[in-house]
Amino acid sequence: MIADVYTHIKEDSIYIYGTGNKARKLATILDEADEPLDLKGFIVSPYVEHQEVMENHPVNVLTSEFAGTIACDSSIFIATSENNAIEIVKYLKSLELSNYIYISNEDLIELNRRLNPIKTSIELDSINPVSRIFGLDRGTPIDRYYIEHFLDTYKPSIEQLNRKAGIRDAIRFFEVGDNTYSKEIAQYYTNVQTELEILDYSAGQDLTDIATLKKDYYDVFVCTQTLNFIYDIKEAILGAYYTIRNGGYLLATMAATITPISRYDMDRWGHYWGVTDLCAKNIFSEVFGEKNVTVITYGNALAATAFIQGIAVEDLESRELLDEVDKDYQVLLGIVAQKR
């Protein structure tokens, strides 16, 4: 699909069907492309409320009369949800418009990389980063690459959890916010029952308040990119210790000292900490005991530069370069702590 989209962008005039978040993102990508593109504007169905101008482009109501003005060499990019796109396609066909393409979220990311490639000069002529959302709009953020590597490498074995295949006692997982990573790790434990629970701050659960947590309960607590945003970090680590059963593991990740501020978190509950591996080792050891804590460092000068700029893993010529560790350029820390 992306090859067709790319060809049409280069050769045709473009209308974006929709005015939602996806449509706005697509317009921004096209407007910021390294070479000029012919974006005519947005189009909406007759029954949709709309502004007259959006992102400096006109918003046109797609009536039968307007359909007749759309040139045969124009392409309509449908930038809506998949459900809405089904009805939109029916409407386009009723107007005898056939040159349309649905744009998925994956298409947006790929188009952004293709139309706005990383320059060798690494944007040294600009004070603005490539991406302000860590590269999520271009692919896989650098820290996400390290988080997944850490969890895949350091998840505890069944033997470490003192479990045997086929027994009834389930391996209990706890994860902050959602269970994305817990689900992936749980698949590793075959022939053993697993239970997945979520720490939901909006529902009153709080790592700094043990009254809201189960005591000595979970086997594996997955706590990724959370502690940087808790002011009372020592109490949060004590809360993690409290809720893990004896012999259980905390798998935590934290932004190290080289990281952009997470504006989303800063504006909601605060972004307080960036720590070194020495700091992490000391503060977790004070709770779990020094012998029970292992800190893994990720990052090097290339990774740090890419992360600050919001360059995605897919932008790099060789992702293997990310695997080299230079402890003077710490991007992410992985912490394995066992309760004993």
For β-strands 244-255 and 293-298, DSSP reports them as unpaired
For residue 122, the model assigns a pLDDT of: 57
List C-alpha distances in Å: 139 to 5, 46, 133, 144. Answer: 18, 35, 11, 10
Distance CA 218, CA 186 (A): 13
CA-wise closest residue to 279 among 230, 224, 231, 233: 233
For residue 33, the model assigns a pLDDT of: 87
Tell me which amino acid residue 244 is: I
For residue 121, the model assigns a pLDDT of: 61
How many CA atoms lie less than 13 Å away from 33 in the CB half-sphere? 19
Distance CA 32, CA 132 (A): 15
Measure CA of the first residue to CA of the last residue in the chain; give whole Å: 53
Which tokens in the block code for residue 69? 């003005």
Task: Assess contact for 133 and 262: CB atoms under 8 A.
Answer: no
Which tokens in the block code for residue 14? 């473009």
Instruction: Specify the DSSP class assigned to residue 94.
Output: H
Distance CA 62, CA 1 (A): 25
Which residues make beta-bridge pairs with 328? none
Distance CA 259, CA 325 (A): 16
| pTM assigned to the model | 0.80
Distance CA 311, CA 316 (A): 8
Domains of the chain: 2-115 (3.40.50.720), 142-338 (3.40.50.150)
Mean pLDDT, consecutive 10-residue segments, the chain of 340 residues?
A: 62 89 92 86 88 88 91 88 93 92 90 82 74 94 97 88 61 94 91 91 94 96 97 98 96 97 94 97 98 98 96 93 97 97
Task: Assess contact for 256 and 308: CB atoms under 8 A.
Answer: no
Task: Assess contact for 41 and 58: CB atoms under 8 A.
Answer: yes
Sheet (strand 244-255) strand order = 194-199, 171-176, 218-224, 244-255, 332-338, 293-298
**pLDDT tens, 254-269?**
999 999 999 999 999 9
How far does CA 339 lie from the centroid of its chain?
30
